[in-house]
Amino acid sequence: MVAPEPIFEPRGTPLSVVGRLKAYSDMGHAVDLLTYSIGEDVRLPNVRIHRIPKVPGIRRIKIGPSIRKLPLDFLLMIKTAAWASTGRFDCLHTHEEAGFWGAALGRWFRIPHLYDMHSSLPQQLGNFQFTKSLILVRLFEKMEAWVLKHSSAVITICPDLQEHVQKRFPGKLSHLIENVVDYGMVFGERDRSSRIRESLDLSGKKTVLYTGTFEPYQGLDLLIDSARAVFDAVPSARFLLVGGHPGQVADYKQTVKDKGLESCFLFTGQVPPQEVNSYIRCADALVSPRTRGTNTPLKIYAYLRSGVPIVATRLWTHTQVLDDRIAILTDATPEAFGRGIVKALTDLRSAGAVRRNATALAGERYGYRTYLEKLDRALSSAAGIRK
């Protein structure tokens, strides 16, 4: 497996990679993971992590496209070629841009190549405002098409990407595998919810919880702008934001202070993934205010399992999984989102219905056993084994 990511940091694609590793380990496969020098080790049976050398001056990689990734990817490509040339492996499983060289090396060394498509890389260039160059975007489109065409099989993580692959290459062996792994299973978990409530003084409060990164597309500005109306309607409401790097947290703390909302916002910064469920247990409403993008947020699957009502923007990033039976969906405006949160906190009948429906759906469609079965089919199809 080749992951051009900091493995491990608690954010989207690294979490997904660790979920794949956990599943392969539980299925009895042995995995050699080739990855960056950045990140914390993860210990799983039959999984070995091999890192490229450290690159001076690069200690952190931001989310999305980055020039700083180029020297890391070059070293990772060389390492992948060296390992592929040994003939020791039954399959080459690559993530994100590692598919560019993984598909070529798979063909060269006759190793089945399974491409894990967490996003459309040409779309990322626009979503993260990396470039306005149409030439660069077109180049990435052609490179992505080549990877999709020449991979033995493809994994997609949401219906939007699955549709993208099938539209470009009808009949391609592509497998939709949602990121449903409960990361408490990977890292171990203790229920710290009582201690969290006490330390953050949440007793008697209505807690609105956001978990995830603090990138602009996540819509935290929308959430903050909706808070005044929520606080006016529910004075006991407290907004608990879990995640974000120190600089991002400092910026948003200043934002809520400037708006006179500091008394109803709490920030934790990043927490270990095994503690996220404890924070969720403290919540009366779970929010996903995302305003851009097409991939389903990773947090949505944990939210569905939680038994806590979900409030999310009515955008394709959410509605490809969520509907009005299992979440309170609103327009992506502060007024509408605020009303949705108030409904989750005060309309117990509606909130109870959506949380019960969400929990039932999570058990039926997004369980770990189903995840293992889907990954097994993807791996088998890449290897040319019918199941």
pLDDT at position 387: 64
pLDDT at position 126: 66
Q: What are the pLDDT digits (tens) for 322-381?
A: 999 999 999 999 999 999 999 999 999 999 999 999 999 999 999 999 999 999 999 999
Domain limits, CATH 3.40.50.2000, in the chain:
2-180+368-382, 188-365
pLDDT band at 298 (very low <50, low <70, confident <90, very high): very high
pLDDT band at 129 (very low <50, low <70, confident <90, very high): low
Q: What are the pLDDT digits (tens) for 220-246?
A: 999 999 999 999 999 999 999 999 999
CATH class of the domain whose range is 2-180+368-382: alpha beta
Q: What is the mean pLDDT of the chain?
A: 94
State the average pLDDT over residues 281-293.
Answer: 96
pLDDT at position 250: 97
Does residue 210 register a pLDDT over 90?
yes
pLDDT at position 65: 80
Does residue 292 register a pLDDT over 80?
yes
pLDDT at position 128: 62
Q: Which residue has the higher pLDDT, 126 or 98?
A: 98
CATH topology of domain 188-365: Rossmann fold (3.40.50)
Does residue 385 register a pLDDT over 90?
no
Is the separation of the CB atoms in 310 and 304 below 8 Å?
A: yes
Q: What single string gives the DSSP state of each residue in 174-221?
A: EEE------HHHHH-----HHHHHHHTT-TT-EEEEEES---GGG-HH
pTM: 0.89
pLDDT band at 10 (very low <50, low <70, confident <90, very high): confident
Please name every residue paired with 115 in a beta bridge, in sequence order, or none if there are none.
Answer: 94, 154
Does residue 110 register a pLDDT over 70?
yes
Reading the block at residue 185, the tokens are 């299973």
pLDDT at position 49: 97
State the average pLDDT over residues 21-29.
Answer: 97
CA separation for the pair 224, 230 (Å, rounded):
10
Is the separation of the CB atoms in 311 and 330 below 8 Å?
A: yes
pLDDT at position 35: 98
pLDDT > 90: what percent of the chain? 83
Helix (H) or strand (E) holding 153: strand 153-156
Q: What are the pLDDT digits (tens) for 243-279?
A: 999 999 999 999 999 999 999 999 999 999 889 999 9
State the average pLDDT over residues 89-113.
Answer: 96
pLDDT at position 171: 79
State the average pLDDT over residues 106-127.
Answer: 88
CA proximity to 4, closest of 42, 44, 38, 29: 38
